Amino acid sequence: MRKLLLLFPVLILNISVWGQIQLTVTIDGGSSTTTCDDFIGQADPFWAVNIEGEGEVIYPESGNCFTSLPNTQYTQNFDCESDVPATIEICFSAFENDGLSYEIGIGCDVTKTCEETICQDVTVPATNSSSTQTIGLADNLSSDGEVTFTISSTSLTPIYSNDTICSAVDLGVLTFADTLGDASLGLYSNLCATNAGDAQPNDQGFFFNDAGVWFSFTTGADVSGEFFVHAVNDPEATGFDIDLQLAVYTSQTGACDGPLDLVLAYWLDTGNDVWMPVECPMPNTTYYILVDGAAPAATTGVFGLEIIDIGIVEGGDFRCDYEDLGEVPEGGSVETPNWVSNFCSTDTDDPYVQAFVSQHSVWFGFIAPPSGHVLIEGITDRTIDSIGIQLALYRSFNNFCNGPFGHVMSQYDIDDLDQSMIATCLYPGRPYWILVDGTGFNAKGVFKIRVTDNGDITPKVTVDTTVCAGTQYQVGSSLYTTSGNYADTIQVFAGCDSIVFTNLTVLDPLTATIDQSPAIGMTATGMATANASGGTGNYSYLWCNGETGQTATMLTGGSNCCVTITDDIGCELIECFDVEFLTGIVPIFENDSLNCFGESSGIIRFTTYNGEPPYNFSWSQVTSGLNGSGTIDSEGVETLIENLPAGPVEITINDAFFDTTFVADIFEPEELQLETTLVNGASCFGFCDGSIDISSIGGTGTKSFLWSNGEISEDLTGLCTGTYELTITDENGCELVTSFFINEPLEFIATPNPIQNVSCFEGSDGQAGVLLENGTAATYNWVDGEDTPEITGLSAGFYDVTITNTDGCEAYTSVEITQPSAPLLVDIGVASEISCYGENDGVLQAEVSGPWNTLSYDWSSGSITAVAGNLGSGEYSLQIINENGCEAEANYTLTQPDELIAQVSAKDITCLDPVNGGEIYVDTVFGGMPGYVYSIDGENFSSFETFTGLEEGSYQVIIQDISGCEETLDISVLGPPDLFVDLGEDFEISLGETIQLQALSNSLDLEYSWNHSDTINTDEITISPYVSTLYSVAVFDTLT
């Protein structure tokens, strides 16, 4: 039997999805048998496998149809081992295929009969292992068979169970200039990680560990002063982004379960990759790296990781560990052959530095060139880690590194990372030491040092100077006291000469005379004028009472006073004298100051001298209207005027000869009051970010502040709503009490609004929104990244949203979108089979499950109800739609009994038979349902296959199977025919001519008898008559 497979090209697009575990099922082999017959030929047993409901695959391959073995039928990727199911369902079925196009060899359709199915939950093996299993049907079923398959669980990437520090991935040993790992490969992820039992960088004020994974490595004995931890987000673009955060730890015991010390935590506000430098790693030490993702958007994902030793040698931390650059050649330079770093350096035993404070210094040495003049350059690295270089130069008094060091020079420029300085007058051939450090902003890094011979220089300088009379001017070892022009050669260090030309002017000495006007008594009413000469002129004066100017007007009579006269280059003359005075009443008084604004507790104290007691006095205070008077009995008695408010008090004292009036003052501080006040309410309901900003004026001295909440600062921040009372107290105890109120807005509330739930099971037409109170939305931030007031196309689940209003306040809610509890499903059942071949009386019934209230039916036959009738054999499809528009479809092949096929024959009546000597025979019958009966009158049926005693005529033979299906065949019983024979027309021939004669009859089974011969028994003769002759023939029918 030839079968024809029509091939239709199918394009399959494979989309790669990143997963750590791949689960596959490979069908290795199988077999099936069936007890069913094939309606055309021998049985066609096949078998099928359905894994996890993904659909059947039919085996074995037959010609161009179905699937060859072995076949990997099922493949599924999983992110985590915990995601891999414990079991999967595998269904095996065996059946007889009666597909018509397959049977006749033009297609690969499948019509199942005698189908038997078994389903089992098969255990999934451990990761990186497989198991081969067999599922078989039970005995004594209509079809039998079994399938053998291999289920494998394979790690697509290395499986790292590094969720805890003691399961950290060991990256190896980091040696000098070495790199561990490759950040360009996405070998790692934290998709399956938690933070259970992990160290928490947040405890030290760094990031929060949500789902960290751990790595470890050990430094070698020669590790550099710095290494970098480089982490790259999703380097191979799998779609699993992570916003990387890193933390590096060491263990106090060296073991993973020991107490941890945080070395460094690092993350970036922009970008997902991280370069984290770790300075001064300890040799032979195990470091632990925690890798996490920043919440909320990219907490977990795929990443690459590498550890890079920068390969830079550390400089010497102590002066005797210096790197020796050697002697600076004349006209040439020396420098460090390689880059150097100072990551591990300290300031231990560093000498004094004039230009900066050393922190992380390293040392270098060189021998000075013959010129004694060098350029020292510090060059920072700008690719690995820059340093703001600071330079200092020293010499040793015994030429050894452990001798006493002398500071030669030091220098740094905060605006430039590189640094250079020129040193002169160095001792040729002697060693010098360079201290290199970093600025406060770039204290550590990588750099080079170069020392260059800067050539011979001899500095020359001219000095024009003027000095005061009686002073000396020194140049080197020379001293000069008179005006003149001088030249001196000065040797510095080892013969570094400097020539100084001096133009010296020595001034004339200062002299002065004093002219006086006497004081009235011993009061500050004396006057004196100083007349100066000599020096440079442009004199300034400072008198004993603090007055300046050539004349003093407030000198106290009887006192000794000195005036200091200074010219414009600082030459001084101090001239002293006694102040002349006239005797009169002299009051000595004290002003008073009130403690607080508005008090009346002032006291004026005064004592009267000179004059002639007793004294009379009177006083008045215009500002308050107070006044009084009294008598003072003797000189030197203290007199008090009490209970005075602020303001000037005029007092007049008189005796028999003199009177004097003076004014004493009662001072008061400025009123203590608030100058400015700025009150900011809480920005959002429940927030404590209100503030009070005040400025106060008045009062005395420093003020203290005491708020009702216990705070003692001038201003308050971080305030919740409420009333806050403030007491301001100055140094005198004066108080100002006031209060402020912090407002807050109404609570911004978001209520979930499920606008539309999912219509159909596992659909995605849900819509979600929110209802807002007490605010207008400015932005929306849904969990899926949408930023609109409403989101659509949703499947069932919870959708979190954060809404920020125009005031910057946030509200959060979660909207639940539900779906029907089950899918709408339909199957087709047979309500009534087709009775007989070719009939259209089959009935199919829709069998619906799942949620619905109303349904519409659409049969391929045109029926729109649950039942479709008047059906013949064939494929029927059904689509149902419920009130939500959910659809379900089913197909069914309605079969009919095999066609009832028969062959009959008849025995005709011969001339030898009686009139009813005819017979009809049922030769063969197949199809329908066996148990056949026969009739030629439609009423009397029997199982006999021969009808006898029939007369000539036409008959209908009715064959009926056990189901009552009938096949009617027409046949005739013929009577004996009328026999005739003909030789045709007469012939006229020439003498000697030969001709053929043929007897033509209506029967084939004849015997012939010719008149001219008794031996000829054929229908043709050849004759050559010599005379005219009559030929005749007689025929006899041998059958009838």
- CB of 89 closer than 8 Å to CB of 97: no
Note whether residue 1011 is domain-resident. Answer: yes
- CB neighbours (10 Å) of residue 474? 10
- Place 4 in a pLDDT band, splitting at 50, 70 and 90: very low
| Mean per-residue pLDDT over the chain, rounded | 88
Q: Across residues 432-443, what is the average pLDDT? A: 93
Asked if residue 1003 has pLDDT above 80, the reply is no
pLDDT recorded at residue 976:
81
Rounded average pLDDT over 510-532: 85
The Cβ of residue 925 has, within 10 Å, a number of other Cβ atoms equal to 18
Report CA torsion sign: 16, 20, 22, 23.
negative
pLDDT digits (tens, 9 = 90+) for 450-507: 999 998 776 677 888 888 888 888 887 888 888 888 877 676 554 466 778 888 888 8
pLDDT for residue 3: 24
Here the tokens at position 815 are 């909207």
* pLDDT-wise least confident of 495-499, 870-874, 1002-1006, 1032-1036: 495-499
Do 274 and 236 share a structural domain? yes
- pLDDT at residue 11 in the model: 28
More confident residue, 895 or 14: 895
pLDDT attached to residue 14 = 31
Please check whether residue 14 lies inside any domain of the structure. Answer: no
Q: How far apart are the first and last CA of the chain?
A: 44
Q: How far apart are CA 784 and CA 770, in angstroms?
A: 15
Check residues 388 and 1006 and name the one with the higher pLDDT.
388
Helices (H), 150-240: none
- Is 50 exceeded by the pLDDT of residue 211? yes
CA 91, 97, 98, 104 torsion-angle sign: positive
Q: What phi and psi values does residue 204 have, to the nearest 5 degrees?
A: -105, 15
What percent of the chain has a predicted confidence (pLDDT) above 90? 51
Q: What is the pLDDT of residue 237?
A: 92
Residue percentage of the chain with pLDDT more than 70:
96
Q: Are 434 and 448 in contact (CB under 8 A)?
A: no
State how far the alpha carbon of 1040 is from the alpha carbons of 907, 914, 1010, in Å: 11, 12, 21
- Assess if residue 10 is contained within a domain: no
Q: Is residue 135 part of a domain?
A: yes
Q: Are both 415 and 375 inside the same structural domain?
A: yes
The CATH number that applies at residue 909 is 2.60.40
Average pLDDT over residues 308-334: 95
Q: What is the per-residue pLDDT across 725-747, written as a single tens digit (0 to 9) for each?
A: 999 998 888 988 999 999 999 99
Q: Are 363 and 371 in contact (CB under 8 A)?
A: no
**pLDDT given for residue 1 in this prediction:** 24
- Same domain for 189 and 290, yes or no, is yes
- According to DSSP, residue 912 is labeled T
Asked if 179 and 293 sit in the same domain, the reply is yes
User: CA torsion sign, 442 to 443 to 446 to 447?
Assistant: positive
With residue 884 as reference, give the H or E element that holds it. Answer: none
Residues 12-34: pLDDT tens digits?
233 333 557 899 999 999 999 99
Verify that 966 and 923 share a domain, yes or no.
yes
How would residue 9 be classed by pLDDT, with cut points 50, 70 and 90? very low
Under DSSP, the state recorded for 105 is: T
Give residue 1037's pLDDT.
76
Q: Are 82 and 192 in contact (CB under 8 A)?
A: yes
Task: Lowest mean pLDDT of 215-219, 290-294, 580-584, 696-700, name the range.
Answer: 580-584
- Residue 230 confidence (pLDDT): 96
Tell me, what's the pLDDT at 1040? Answer: 60
Residue 662 maps to which CATH number? Answer: 2.60.40.10
Per-residue model confidence (pLDDT) at position 496: 63
- Has this prediction a pTM greater than 0.75? no
Residue range 211-233: mean pLDDT, rounded: 95
Instruction: Quick: pLDDT tens for 541-569.
Output: 999 999 998 899 998 888 999 999 999 88
Asked which of 713, 742, 771 is the last residue of a domain, the reply is 742
Claim to verify: residue 753 and residue 881 sit in the same structural domain: no
Token digits of residue 65: 């149809």
Distance CA 594, CA 597 (A): 7
More confident residue, 658 or 7: 658
Q: In angstroms, rounded to a whole number, what is the distance separating the alpha carbons of residues 732 and 669? A: 10
What is the mean pLDDT of the segment spanning 843-870? 91
Strands, sheet with 540-542, edge to edge from the N-terminal-most edge strand: 540-542, 560-566, 572-578
Which pLDDT value is given to residue 361?
94
Angle at 686 between CA 680 and CA 691, to 5 degrees: 20
Q: Do residues 388 and 441 touch, judged by C-beta distance below 8 A?
A: yes
| Domain co-membership, 27 together with 147 | yes
Residue 943 has pLDDT above 60, yes or no: yes
Kindly state the tokens that stand for 776: 């207008």
Last residue of a domain, one of 636, 667, 698: 667
Average confidence (pLDDT) over 382-410 = 93
Please tell me whether residues 288 and 302 are part of one structural domain: yes
Beta bridge partners of 161: none
Tell me, what CATH number does 832's domain have? 2.60.40.1080
The whole-angstrom separation of Cα 655 and Cα 660 is 9
Q: Is residue 15 part of a domain?
A: no
**pLDDT band with cut points at 50, 70 and 90 for residue 934:** very high
Structure tokens at 484: 């003149």
1025 inside domain: yes
Query: Side by side, which strands form the sheet with 21-34?
Result: 71-78, 21-34, 143-155, 129-136
For 141-197, the pLDDT digits (tens) are 999 999 999 999 998 776 778 999 999 999 999 999 999 999 999 999 998 899 998
Helix, strand, or coil (residue 204): helix
60 and 28 co-located in one domain: yes
Domain count of the fold of the chain: 11
CATH number at residue 295: 2.60.120.380
657 pLDDT tier (thresholds 50, 70, 90): low
Q: Are residues 76 and 192 in the same domain?
A: no
Q: Are 143 and 34 in contact (CB under 8 A)?
A: yes
Residue 816 pLDDT greater than 70, yes or no: yes
141 & 47 share domain: yes
- Angle at CA of residue 521, ends 515 and 526, nearest 5°: 25
Give me the domain span that covers residue 439. Answer: 313-453
Query: Domain boundary at 711, 742, 773, which?
Result: 742
Does residue 608 register a pLDDT over 60?
A: yes
Q: Is 12 part of any domain?
A: no
pLDDT at 120 over 90: yes
| 3-state class (DSSP) for residue 665 | strand
Q: Across residues 934-952, what is the average pLDDT?
A: 89
With respect to residue 1, please indicate whether it lies within any of the assigned structural domains. Answer: no
Contacts of 631 (CB under 8 A, 6+ apart): 614, 615, 616, 617
Is the pLDDT confidence value at 8 over 50?
no
The secondary structure of 413-445 as a DSSP string is: -TT-SSEEEEE-S--TT-EEEEEEEE-SSS-S-
Is 768 a residue whose pLDDT tops 70? yes
- Look at residue 51 and tell me whether its pLDDT is greater than 90: yes
Q: Tell me the C-alpha to C-alpha distance, in Å, between residue 515 and each of 548, 564, 572.
A: 16, 15, 20
Q: What is the pLDDT of residue 493?
A: 52
Contact 801, 739 (CB under 8 A): no
Question: SS3 for 743-785, per residue?
Answer: CCCCCCEEEEEEEECCCCCCCCCEEEEEEEECCCEEEEEECCC
Clarify whether residues 483 and 571 are in a common domain.
Answer: no
